[in-house]
């Protein structure tokens, strides 16, 4: 009887763990997704383009206006995940841009996508860009911290352990996959490990000051030219 009980526990216990880990959906896309992708595909492309690829953080930065150069193309879609970026990556690759800056993953964490799957998707992005547009320089930007004191986007908060793991893994991956990592995280974190209040209005998205800090980091690092 003890053997049967143990087998039953292992069987159904394993199923329960699997079910818990499987509580995420790679097919979810924000309502605005198709309209934005259709727009991106309709726009002209140039090999001089510098593409900013990501979610709402990228979207709201309005890169060409902020940096004062129409070469900077905004390919951010609010609510997008790594799966959504992979689904529309062909549009970026076909344009064969000079550079692509990627910041993506916080919405995956909010939807409980496992770290290992996000890392796998990062690697797939890099390899697809390198295959389809080998001259494009690839820059991954580390995920930003969040701040739960705002009590607005609760599913996004308290993911700091995952954020640290993904950022660390990106840095390790850069050596083997030959891309560059821009470490934004230290510039936005406060002494308690949270996103600085002056840089956010909801604990995830950035204020004007936050976007200017982002542009400053990129400009000071020589990655972009900021016409202030």
Least confident of 18-22, 63-67, 172-176: 18-22
How many angstroms separate the CA atoms of 174 and 39, rounded?
31
Q: Which two tokens stand for residue 10?
A: 């292992």
Could you read off the pLDDT of 5-44 as tens digits, one per residue? 444 444 444 443 344 445 899 999 999 999 999 999 999 9
105 — pLDDT class (breaks 50, 70, 90): very high
Q: What percent of the chain has pLDDT over 90?
A: 87
Please give the order of strands across the beta sheet that includes 72-76: 72-76, 50-54, 99-103, 137-141, 180-182
- Among the CATH numbers 1.10.10.10, 3.30.360.10, 3.40.50.1980, 3.40.50.1110, which is that of 30-220? 3.40.50.1110
95 — pLDDT class (breaks 50, 70, 90): very high
Could you read off the pLDDT of 112-131 as tens digits, one per residue? 999 999 999 999 999 999 99
pLDDT of res. 209: 97
pLDDT of res. 23: 84
pLDDT average, residue stretch 169-194:
97
- Angle (CA) 222 215 184, round 5°: 85
Q: State the burial class of residue 157 (Cβ atoms within 10 Å of its Cβ: 0-12, 13-18, 19+).
A: buried
Element holding 183 (H helix, E strand): none
Could you read off the pLDDT of 147-163 as tens digits, one per residue? 999 989 999 999 999 99
228 — pLDDT class (breaks 50, 70, 90): confident
* 223 pLDDT above the threshold of 50: yes
pLDDT of res. 76: 98
Write the CB contacts of 27 (distance below 8 Å, at least 6 apart in sequence).
83
Q: Supply the pTM of this predicted model.
A: 0.89
How many angstroms separate the CA atoms of 95 and 98, rounded?
9
How many angstroms separate the CA atoms of 36 and 55, rounded?
11
How many angstroms separate the CA atoms of 220 and 224, rounded?
8
């Amino acid at each position: 009887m003890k053997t049967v009980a143990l087998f039953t526990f292992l069987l159904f216990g394993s199923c329960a763990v699997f079910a818990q880990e499987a509580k995420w959906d790679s097919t979810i896309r924000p309502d605005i997704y198709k309209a934005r992708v259709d727009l991106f595909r309709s726009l002209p492309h140039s090999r001089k383009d510098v593409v900013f690829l990501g979610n709402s953080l990228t979207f709201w930065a309005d890169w060409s206006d902020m940096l004062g150069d129409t070469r900077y193309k905004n390919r951010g879609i609010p609510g997008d995940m790594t799966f959504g970026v992979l689904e529309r990556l062909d549009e970026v690759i076909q344009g064969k841009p000079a550079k692509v800056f990627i910041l993506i993953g916080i919405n995956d964490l909010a939807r409980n996508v496992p770290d290992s799957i996000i890392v796998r998707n990062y690697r797939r992005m890099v390899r697809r860009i390198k295959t389809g547009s080998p001259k494009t320089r690839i820059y991954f930007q580390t995920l930003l911290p969040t701040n739960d004191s705002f009590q607005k986007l609760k599913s996004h908060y308290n993911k700091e352990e995952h954020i640290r793991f993904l950022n660390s893994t990106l840095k390790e991956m850069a050596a083997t996959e030959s891309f560059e990592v821009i470490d934004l995280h230290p510039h936005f974190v406060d002494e308690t490990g949270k996103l600085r209040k002056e840089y956010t209005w909801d604990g995830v998205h950035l204020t004007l000051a936050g976007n200017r800090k982002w542009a400053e980091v990129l400009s000071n690092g020589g990655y972009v030219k900021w016409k202030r």
